[in-house]
């Protein structure tokens, strides 16, 4: 019998990084990062997502060793590293503008971290070659960084951060300077690299679709605090507050008052008097002001064939936008001027602006947010 086989496959991998009560302030009054408790699991792709000024980059810089936490601890492999300089952390870092060294060739750039580790000669050459192959730049070793396109520079930065086989790679908005198509291509490439090498990645971005595409887990930052830490699917379906709901994906946030409960469902009254049913959530009480989240693509134009138990809402179509595969309807309803609805183009026949419409959506697609 091999003992290893008895371990259940589903155990969460051990933590590689732990932030424990980390706070960071530059002026002693305002905290750009506040009460940060976060674990990064070995081998996962964790994204820190948030608007600018939310503290995500500062958090990354503290992990990279370029900023020191004002309070709290950062553990790397169980070891506190707040006072460890960046060069002793063995963490790969890809910067926003790549930070390639312009006076060195691509190969010299990639050999630099090896040189720092006293790996030279044939051993270094093999590693550099392999690193270049890995990012499909085998023939570019002798070029200077300025001779490469943005995407190629990005790949070199990646190869350089990976060549010394760090256990952890940090990326600070690495795709921000690329155009949309290349960005989407690189997202997949980075994700594949991360999976095939089995490395842990902490990725900072303000682009929610990038975060959803690449991440195993996403930490949503706002005002220096993590608002929610979850997988992409859960983050989208079950945001824990208004900010997360608004930041991730398109959303309709309807103000409402809980009238009462009925069989695990809450009855919510919208500002225009309409009554919605939504699954009850923890902490919701009768008479409480709440927000109801309804995603635009979960609503449909009501027809008689739909299920009997569902929310039905009346509204006035303000505008209709044709987007090829789908239509976007802007509807005045539920006390909102612009309730967004997205329906397949085929279902939109006969809809005209300034006409009344009945919308329907499942009770489970209305989500009550108490914060």
Partner 1 sequence: MDTTLEKIKILIAVREAARPARRAAFSLALPLLVFLIVTFVAPIVLLLFTAVNNPEPQAVIPQTLAALERWDGKAMPEEAVFAALAKELAQAQQDRTAALLGKRFNYEVPGMRSRVVSAARMALANPTGPYRERFLALDAEWGSPALWAVVKRNAGTLTPYYLLNAIDLQQEPDGSLQRVEADQRVFMTILGRTLFVAFTVTFLTLVLGYPVAYMLTIAPSGVARIMMLCVLLPLWTSLLVRTTAWVVLLQTDGVINDALLALGFTDHRLQLIFSRFGTVAAMTHIQLPFTILPIYSVMKSIPPTQLRAARSLGAGPLSSFWKIYAPQTVPGVMAGGLITFILSLGYYITPALVGGPGDQMVSNFISIYINRDLNWGLASALGVILLTVTIAIYLVFLRLVGAEKLRMG
Which residues would be at the binding site for partner 1 (CB under 8 A)?
Answer: 64-66, 85-87, 89-93, 95-97, 99-103, 112-113, 116-117, 160-161, 164
Two tokens at 286? Answer: 């009768």
CA gap 346, 326 in Å, rounded: 8
Closest distance to partner 1 from the beta carbon of 194 (Å)? 18
Minimum distance from CB of 47 to partner 1 (Å)?
A: 19
Alpha carbons 227 and 207: distance in angstroms, whole number: 16
Find the Cα–Cα–Cα–Cα dihedral 185, 186, 192, 195, rounded to 10°: -140
Cα 151–chain centre separation: 22
Q: Write the CB contacts of 35 (distance below 8 Å, at least 6 apart in sequence).
A: 21, 22, 23, 225
For the bound state, the minimum distance from the C-beta of residue 135 to partner 1, rounded and expressed in Å, comes to 16
Q: Which is nearer to partner 1, 193 or 220 (CB)?
A: 193
Q: Contact, 47 vs 162, CB < 8 A?
A: no
Least Å distance, CB 124 to partner 1, is 13
**99/253 with CB nearer partner 1:** 99
- Shortest Cβ distance from residue 92 to partner 1 (Å)? 7
Cβ 265 to partner 1, closest distance in Å? 52
- Residue 97 or 241 having the CB closest to partner 1: 97
Buried-state track 113-139, b at ≥16 Cβ within 10 A, e below 16: bbeeeebeeeebeebbeebbebbebee
Q: Which is nearer to partner 1, 206 or 367 (CB)?
A: 206
Nearest distance, CB of residue 183 and partner 1, angstroms: 20
Nearest to 336 by CA among 364, 299, 371: 299
Tokens coding 228? 């929610």
Query: Which is nearer to partner 1, 87 or 250 (by Cβ)?
Result: 87
Q: Which is nearer to partner 1, 85 or 264 (CB)?
A: 85
* Closest CB to partner 1 among residues 102, 273: 102
Which residue lies nearer to partner 1 by CB, 67 or 230? 67
Smallest separation (angstroms) from partner 1 to the CB of 205: 17
Q: Residue 74 has which token pair?
A: 């950062």
Q: How far apart are alpha carbons 176 and 220 in whole angstroms?
A: 18
């Amino acid at each position: 019998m091999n003992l290893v086989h008895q371990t259940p496959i589903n155990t969460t991998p051990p933590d590689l990084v732990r932030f424990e009560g980390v706070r960071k302030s530059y002026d002693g009054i305002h905290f750009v990062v506040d009460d940060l408790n976060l674990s990064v699991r070995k081998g996962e792709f964790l994204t820190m997502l948030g608007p600018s000024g939310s503290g995500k980059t500062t958090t990354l810089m503290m992990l990279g060793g370029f900023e020191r936490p004002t309070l709290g601890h950062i553990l790397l492999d169980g070891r506190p590293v707040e006072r460890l300089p960046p060069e002793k952390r063995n963490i790969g870092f890809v910067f926003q503008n790549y930070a390639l060294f312009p006076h060195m060739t691509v190969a010299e750039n990639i050999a630099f971290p090896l040189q720092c580790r006293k790996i030279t000669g044939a051993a270094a050459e093999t590693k550099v070659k392999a690193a270049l192959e890995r990012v499909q730049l085998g023939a570019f070793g002798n070029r200077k960084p300025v001779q490469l396109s943005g995407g190629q520079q990005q790949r070199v930065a990646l190869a350089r951060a990976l060549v010394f086989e760090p256990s952890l790679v940090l990326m600070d908005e690495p795709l921000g300077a690329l155009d949309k198509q290349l960005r989407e291509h690189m997202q997949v490439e980075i994700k594949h690299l991360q999976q095939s090498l089995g490395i842990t990645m902490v990725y900072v971005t303000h682009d929610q679709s990038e975060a959803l595409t690449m991440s195993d887990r996403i930490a949503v930052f706002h005002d220096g605090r993590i608002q929610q830490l979850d997988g992409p699917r859960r983050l989208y379906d079950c945001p824990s507050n208004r900010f997360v709901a608004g930041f991730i994906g398109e959303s309709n946030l309807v103000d409402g008052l809980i009238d009462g409960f009925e069989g695990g469902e809450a009855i919510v009254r919208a500002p225009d008097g309409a009554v919605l049913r939504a699954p009850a959530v923890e902490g919701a009480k009768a008479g409480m002001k709440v927000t109801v989240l309804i995603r635009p693509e979960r609503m449909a134009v009501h027809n008689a064939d739909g299920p009997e138990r569902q929310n039905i809402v009346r509204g006035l179509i303000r505008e209709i936008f044709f987007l090829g595969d789908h239509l976007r309807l802007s509807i005045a309803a539920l006390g909102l001027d612009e309730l967004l609805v997205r329906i397949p183009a085929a279902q939109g026949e006969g809809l005209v602006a300034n006409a009344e419409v009945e919308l329907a959506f499942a009770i489970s697609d209305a989500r009550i947010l108490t914060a």
